[in-house]
Amino acid sequence: MFARGLKRKYGDQEEGVEGFGTVPSYCLQRQSLLDMSLVKLQLCHMLVEPNLCRSVLIANTVRQIQEEMSRDGVWHGMAPQNVEQRAPIDRLVSTEILCRTARGTDGEHPTPELEDDPLQSSASELPIVSSAQGQRNPQSSLWEMDNPQENRGSFQKSLDQIFETLENKSPSSVEELFSDVDSSYYDLDTVLTGMMSGTKPSLCNGLESFAAAPPPPSSTCKSDLAELDHVVEILVET
Amino acid sequence: MEEDIDTRKINNSFLRDHSYATEADIISTVEFNHTGELLATGDKGGRVVIFQREQEVLLEEQTPAVVLGSVLRVLKSHLPSFQSKNQVHRRGEYNVYSTFQSHEPEFDYLKSLEIEEKINKIRWLPQQNAAYFLLSTNDKTVKLWKVSERDKRPEGYNLKDEEGRLRDPATITTLRVPVLRPMDLMVEATPRRVFANAHTYHINSISVNSDYETYMSADDLRINLWNFEITNQSFNIVDIKPANMEELTEVITAAEFHPHHCNTFVYSSSKGTIRLCDMRASALCDRHTKFFEEPEDPSNRSFFSEIISSISDVKFSHSGRYIMTRDYLTVKVWDLNMENRPIETYQVHDYLRSKLCSLYENDCIFDKFECVWNGSDSVIMTGSYNNFFRMFDRNTKRDVTLEASRENSKPRAILKPRKVCVGGKRRKDEISVDSLDFSKKILHTAWHPSENIIAVAATNNLYIFQDKVN
């Protein structure tokens, strides 16, 4: 189905290669890259202002993975309509960067494709899924939406939220500063010191905590936006 | 006797060498001035160290020519052609001329963030009088420094004695005119201008315009044009910040003015594109005049394609006809008249292509390597890992890998070309890809404007290599 010019790359011995010469699952590798990228984005926020170029590149990588995963239909519970509206990146032709892989089946089912070692892959996938739905760290409340389904579907927004963070470090418009629903935005300290510092290392929580609604199209915070607009008006005296 | 002197002088080539590596000593920029007489380095601790080349000396010598510094045999074609048998031309060595603290660490109280004092770039101004001027910048502030010599001081004041104490006026019976007397050379650096508060994001480039009256500073999203005389305002000439930061996908990575046309400049992006802009077209150069981008090679596509295409440095050739760009794995030369692809592509370390995931994990994939032209635009040079640096001769298409390390190159020895083994069989003297030390990266190099002298910064050590004499 997905004839992606698979080539054996020299010296490709990435992590995740199981013993006994099994080919690592492409989805597993892709997921691991996604996880790694999200961790990197979270760790950006240290005492010194994060490197914007690096953040942008990582975020673009995450977007690519997300778009591919959503095209495969493997993005957890993600409906196609939640995909970012912009012109999609062309389907990546060669997918062997992470591993030598043979995509056997079409990505029709929502669960990640399992390759040679279904049990192993699923075992590693499941904890991610369950913990994503389970844990709720209060420290990530800054971006937490009340609606878990929104969390799943608004991955694009999560990336945007990262740039919100970066942007908020130097708010050029008050709207952006106050565009988030969460009331902790009103806490200036939280805003200015970089929200990410509160989030925990768990990647899934990271995914959760990314879920916010700064972009106007989100329907869940329209009322809050109106309220915020009002507040903003007062503040800027316009 | 002569040997001893040589050893001492040669050790000067390894200036700034410390037995331990302190983070503040990590060299972050290297730049020759326009004549090559001075070499400036900036480090992570905010200091600038300027080296000056000794006057060249002709000596009578019976023994074979003394070679100073290490040697570049590969550049044989550029060697001076003739050396007298009885005379040796002692090439000038670089010695420390001045050291000063350019930037201090700051704390942005509004954002609760530190502003690093690391010197990101140094650019020299052409010399117009006896003093030297350079621009140095950290993430937020550009400073114009004046470096001047003082070798005379006035003596013979009437009201003060030699130590500066006031004399009792009653004891003064005669008047004398103070005279200037020679003193030990003192080099002093004074900040003449501070260009602050114009950049929200981190400054990555500064470039002096060919009119010598203006310069530009570029951060991740904006480029500002300054006049040297005016510090409280600057013109914004490029702004790629989207109205909605959520839509940000591309940042500016480097920028430079054309060497001859004061209205033209280029800037590179994290998506591997270069834009050439003409300031005469409009005040805000958001629309480029030329757009350089190479179509992607579909067979090499991966999740890391964009990251490795991000351009880390862009440099005009001295002629102004070409630009050179450095991305993670290659150096490319573009003709300004052809936008759809580069005219030359050189593989710096293609053996890393299969290691991109690991390099992404340890963040090495984000390393920003610089690239430089030689004086005649015939050779280009850039750094790599394991303290390797690479040179590409554009005419002969030969390339060489050299190493900047004390262990592997004795003073006055010819640098031995290195080779990275990518296949199964490793020959003697080759180094395998897995043995490369990724913490030893050469990001900053400089080439003398007219001679074959190069400066290579390897973490906290500075290496100066000269062409072999005779």
Residue of chain A nearest B118, judged by CA positions: A48
CA distance B318 to B378: 10
Residue A10 has phi, psi (to 5 degrees) of -70, 140
CA distance A225 to A227: 5
Other residues' Cβ atoms within 10 Å of the Cβ of residue A164: 26
Contact list, A160 vs chain B (CB under 8 Å): 245-247
Taking CB atoms and an 8 Å limit, are B113 and A98 in contact across chains? no
CA-based angle B4:B9:B11, to the nearest 5?
A: 100
Q: What is the pLDDT of residue B58?
A: 61
The Cα of A121 is separated from the nearest Cα of chain B by a number of Å equal to 20
Q: What is the pLDDT of residue A44?
A: 58
* Cβ–Cβ under 8 Å, residues A175 and B244: no
Q: What is the DSSP letter of A74?
A: -
- Angle subtended by helix axes A26-42 and A203-210, to nearest 10: 70
Contact list, A210 vs chain B (CB under 8 Å): none
The Cα of A80 is separated from the nearest Cα of chain B by a number of Å equal to 20
CA distance A221 to A218: 6
Contact list, A60 vs chain B (CB under 8 Å): 249, 306
Taking CB atoms and an 8 Å limit, are B245 and A166 in contact across chains? yes
Torsion angle of the four alpha carbons A224, A158, A200, A36, in this order, in degrees rounded to the nearest 10: 180
The Cα of B302 is separated from the nearest Cα of chain A by a number of Å equal to 6
Q: What is the pLDDT of residue B5?
A: 34
Contact list, A91 vs chain B (CB under 8 Å): none
Q: What is the pLDDT of residue B56?
A: 73
Handedness of CA B90, B96, B98, B101 (dihedral sign): positive
Integer angstrom CA distances of residue B148 from B104, B152, B187:
22, 12, 6
Interface probe, candidates A57, A84, A95, A210, chain B, greatest B C-beta count within 10 A: A57
Taking CB atoms and an 8 Å limit, are B249 and A36 in contact across chains? no
Interface probe, candidates A6, A35, A43, A49, chain B, greatest B C-beta count within 10 A: A49
Q: What is the pLDDT of residue B164?
A: 80
Q: Could you say which of B116, B299, B361 has the minimum Cβ distance to residue A36?
A: B361
Q: What is the pLDDT of residue B172?
A: 87
Handedness of CA B80, B81, B85, B86 (dihedral sign): negative
The residue type found at B184 is D
The Cα of B451 is separated from the nearest Cα of chain A by a number of Å equal to 35
Q: What is the pTM of this model?
A: 0.70
Q: What is the pLDDT of residue A134?
A: 38
Interface probe, candidates A56, A58, A84, A89, chain B, greatest B C-beta count within 10 A: A56
Q: What is the pLDDT of residue B422?
A: 82
Round the average pLDDT of chain B to a whole number and report it: 87
Residue of chain A nearest B139, judged by CA positions: A49
Interchain CB contact of A226 with B (< 8 Å): no
Burial code of A69-88, b = ≥16 C-beta within 10 A, e = fewer?
Answer: bbbbbbbbebeeebbbeeee
Contact list, A9 vs chain B (CB under 8 Å): 354
Q: What is the pLDDT of residue A169?
A: 46
Q: What is the pLDDT of residue B265?
A: 97
Instruction: Note the ipTM here.
Output: 0.85
pLDDT under 50 in chain A at which residues?
1-3, 11-20, 77-155, 157, 168-221, 238
Taking CB atoms and an 8 Å limit, are A56 and B116 in contact across chains? no
Q: Could you say which of A57, A166, A172 has the minimum Cβ distance to residue B270?
A: A57
Q: What is the pLDDT of residue A222?
A: 54
Cβ contacts of B438 within 8 Å, gap of 6 or more: B359, B362, B364, B385, B386
pLDDT under 50 in chain B at which residues?
1-20, 61-88, 470
